Structure 1
């Protein structure tokens, strides 16, 4: 005689599933509305999700753009201003290839929202020298073969300028520590250190 099979526990019906989904969507909408209303009540300005006016001071010039609040400074530079010297490599604030100066301090452009960079003085690699007249740091990088593939080079040059502006007479150990936020997959660290030591000896700092 066949054994009686135990009845399987009842599952979620199609009707219950859609009812639960509708309740969840409604709750999410109410929560978002409550958060937005709370921000407005507190005096905070709610922006987006569409493009909003953004004004950036880059390399001595003012640029008025229409950007979504989620756009990073790096994407604004590369995709909206055609300033492609800052490289998009990790896009996670870890490699330093996108380093720019913000009020004289090095920052990862991929980790800063363009809307938050308003009112700041931004300098990119394009502001340092020209092909006809290289910045002393750029010239030293060429002289000491401090680059290979070149993806990290703009970030290293910008970070080096900020470092030498703060410490115009660094030791080799200080250079290693000062540029610790920039990575070179090709391993040209010896050339980079030699380049900065040459700038130290010949120019005395990163100011052109």
Structure 2
């Protein structure tokens, strides 16, 4: 498992252009991590955190690490709570008025940076949610552990693609190096996608309805 500095050194050795430095490459590595995490369900980003649903509200801010794919919720006693795809789907089962009070929260739905819940509990309630978090910021000294073993080169290809795109900007004809590293990145990304989906039990998607209690 390589560090950010080791990956940057590989990239700079390939590009051989003094206008690029480690800081530029690290920016590209974080850009790559963000792009991958928004498209793929990465096991390294699966996490859980607690939020407190207030009796005086109908939503609570999601953890600052939250990125997407909220797929599980449970209360402090360990009982699962249904996850809906949207506020509208939650509303179908729990109706108006939105602020209806109940003893227990029965459903939740992510909405932007918030978690909507219903019915409003009679007391403040701790909920544990599982989701895909944001990637940890890549630095020169830290090991890059976002991807499974064997896929670290995807960062090299992405950064080289970005560098050569700037070098060859405005050039006439085919941008050989730009297209070459773009193709390497795309090919390895697709291979990663297949690897993540073969023989892996992925979290079930939220469903739209539930039976009334």
Query: What is the TM-score when the length of structure 1 is the normalising length?
Result: 0.24
| Higher RCO, 1 vs 2 (CA within 8 Å, ≥6 residues apart) | 2
Which has the larger strand fraction? 2
Whose radius of gyration is greater, 1 or 2?
1
Which has the larger helix fraction? 1
Query: What is the TM-score when the length of structure 2 is the normalising length?
Result: 0.24
